[in-house]
Structure 1
Amino acid sequence: MTDGAEHGAEQENPASLRVVVVDDHPIFRFGLRAALDSGEGMRVVGEAGDAQAIEELVAAACPDVVVMDLHLPGVPGCEAVRRLAAAFPGLPVLMLTMSQDDGSLLAALRAGARGYLVKGAGRDAVLNAVRTTAAGGVVFGAEVAGRVTSLLLGEGAGQPRRMPAPGPLATLTEREREVLDLLARGADNRRIARTLCLADKTVRNHVSNIFGKLAVEHRAQAVALARDAGWGEGEECRRT
């Protein structure tokens, strides 16, 4: 992890909007930092390639906004957002990611992200998003803005139907229902982990718990029960 704080520049312009960047691709991070530093009244005061020690980085850099990738090695971006929300209430986090699927978007919103842009957004769009989130606003890129309302109403992909769960399905926790719904859509463990911002091991544990509660021995049986209950409908997940 690299702390890129620049105290001398900060003293020259103490009113600068302070930004921390977290992304595991060095070239993209370099370009993003250059774009942000070129913005009027804006300066990157810290950066990292993962979110393993995100609380320490934020405590040292004292940013006004954190710009973070969704899929990071070790600690997923959504988990990092939850940690920041607990340690630094009110600190805005802007997700800047390649993921455009509804599951990733909803997971980021649930974690507490203040904005969601898809990588490839123009420089001005990124600068405006950082300024808006720092001012207390919420920002969504044009690629996902039209889906936000339906997602918040529970109509997004990757979410189990809001109907009474029959039989053994009623014993599942909310997270286990999300995992099972994605299983019923054809997602493998890796895809589920990416969609829900979970570690691969956590997904395996959820799948094992689901099998135990449903008294099944393999995925096909669990998926059959879910689909009989009306779960897993809609767009299928592609294995990536």
Structure 2
Amino acid sequence: MSQLSTHYVDKYYNVIFQSSDKSDDVIKVPDDRIADFLALLQASSWDVKYIHSSGFNDYLKGEYGLADYQFSEAQLNALDQFSTTWSRNNAARYMLNPTMVNALRMGWGEALSQWTNPELVATGLSAGILGLQGLARGTAKGGGKASFKGAKYSDKVLRQMNKADDIYHAFPKSVDGYATKFGQWSTKIGADGKIYQWLEMPGSYGGKTGTFEFIKDANDLINHRFFNIP
């Protein structure tokens, strides 16, 4: 039986944290408070029950307030069809930010939760993804673009893109478009303590397999465009 969770998101509705406090509220953490929020979670990580308690989460709701976007009754009914808290949270993640990566995560989450039933596993991936497309916030195609819209490359990145023999930086610009559609967005704290948006997409180029990485700062400047080969 799945359990209700409060979903903490950034301004792009990327999920930062999900607590099992028996609530389905969506809380948007302001950009200037994400670092403090992550630090609070880390400092409280020794007491898991406290982090997932209604008292702790009610306090944070009072601090940040509810996001403009909340799950509808139809969405909550759909989420209740998922068999575990893990798969339910993956479905909620997809509804909030419907990228292809989140769709696949949702499908695999439900399929693996039902691994004892081969028939459910076989249908879980396609049914999970297709069944919720009409209930997601926007569309999978639009989710990434909304986060990337208006971004510009820094002078450093433009110089690197013009070095034809640089496999790590001079990959085709068309990759950027695919990444906005199918990549995974996340919010991370840089070594300088500032908030950055990461966009990552696995792929291949030049006979190598790795991850295409993009990092955007608060001024919508992309200063990191890199093909990370393990």
More strand as a share of residues: 2
With the length of structure 2 as denominator, give the TM-score of the two structures: 0.28
